[in-house]
């Protein structure tokens, strides 16, 4: 899927498919790349997630842009909106959770982390991921924090699905979630804040890599 997506993305960015052009059908692409139609379908979903195409029922997939949006939108909120809010909310929330959590919160967080590690279905994993972050907010003991995370829950789920489809983030997220749970269980505010800070930094980096891979490559060469 990643190879097909990368090829089609480059073709669009090079102008081989102009804005308004219709992409070949799933059947034609499946034959061209010698892969199943399900693989093609996932690649086309990836193009839509990047904002490069739109699917019109009964008509096909059409190019809508020659490059991905700098600031993709997930539901009602942009990626930039979510990153800014999450930095200012979820990082201190993790610290409060380490100080105020109870046994029920710890049991649920551990259970969720374990289920995510075992889950193979992307949709189910995304739902668990949203619940994981809401539970941390609830463990903070401040209902306002929980309300904020609930408000952006749909956007977080959309962003998580985007990162999983285009950035293969699940395995790394599972490791990061475990570190957060461990810090909260240990009652260490400092460690919990550090673990959540690292998690959100990796989310932001993954988004940048997906949307602007050329920028990431340039930064890596500079480093």
Q: Is the pLDDT of residue 133 over 90?
A: yes
C-alpha distance from residue 124 to each of 51, 112, 131, 190, 192 (Å): 24, 11, 11, 31, 25
Tell me the pLDDT of the chain averaged across its residues.
Answer: 91
Evaluate whether the domain defined by 2-63 bears CATH number 1.10.10.10. yes
Helix (H, G, I), strand (E, B) or coil at 74: strand
* CATH 1.10.10.10 in the chain, residue ranges: 2-63
Give the span between the Cα atoms of 12 and 181, in whole angstroms: 42
* CATH 1.20.120.530 in the chain, residue ranges: 73-222
What is the per-residue pLDDT across 160-197, written as a single tens digit (0 to 9) for each? Answer: 988 988 888 999 999 999 999 999 999 999 999 999 99
What is the per-residue pLDDT across 18-58, written as a single tens digit (0 to 9) for each? Answer: 999 999 999 999 999 999 999 999 889 889 888 899 999 88
- Give the CATH number of domain 73-222; options: 1.10.10.10, 1.10.3720.10, 1.20.120.530, 3.40.50.620: 1.20.120.530
* pLDDT at site 211: 86
Residue, of 164 and 92, whose pLDDT is higher: 92
* pLDDT at site 83: 94
Structure tokens at 173: 């997220």
């Amino acid at each position: 899927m990643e190879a097909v997506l990368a090829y089609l993305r480059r073709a669009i960015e090079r102008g081989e498919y102009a804005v308004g052009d219709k992409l070949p059908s799933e059947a034609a692409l499946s034959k061209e790349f010698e892969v199943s139609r399900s693989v093609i379908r996932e690649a086309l979903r990836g193009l839509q997630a990047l904002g490069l195409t739109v699917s019109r029922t009964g008509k096909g997939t059409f190019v809508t842009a020659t490059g991905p949006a700098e600031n993709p939108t997930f539901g009602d909120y942009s990626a930039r909106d979510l990153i800014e809010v999450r930095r200012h909310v979820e990082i201190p929330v993790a610290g409060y959770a380490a100080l105020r959590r109870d046994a029920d919160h710890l049991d649920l967080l551990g259970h969720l982390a374990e289920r995510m590690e075992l889950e193979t279905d992307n949709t189910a994993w995304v739902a668990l991921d949203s619940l994981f972050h809401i539970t941390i907010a609830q463990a903070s003991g401040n209902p306002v924090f929980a309300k904020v995370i609930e408000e952006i829950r749909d956007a977080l789920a959309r962003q998580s699905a985007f990162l999983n489809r285009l950035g293969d983030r699940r395995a790394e997220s599972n490791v990061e979630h475990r570190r957060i749970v461990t810090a909260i269980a240990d009652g260490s505010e400092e460690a919990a804040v550090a673990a959540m800070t690292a998690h959100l930094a990796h989310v932001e980096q993954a988004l940048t890599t997906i949307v602007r891979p050329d920028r990431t490559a340039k930064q890596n060469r500079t480093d």
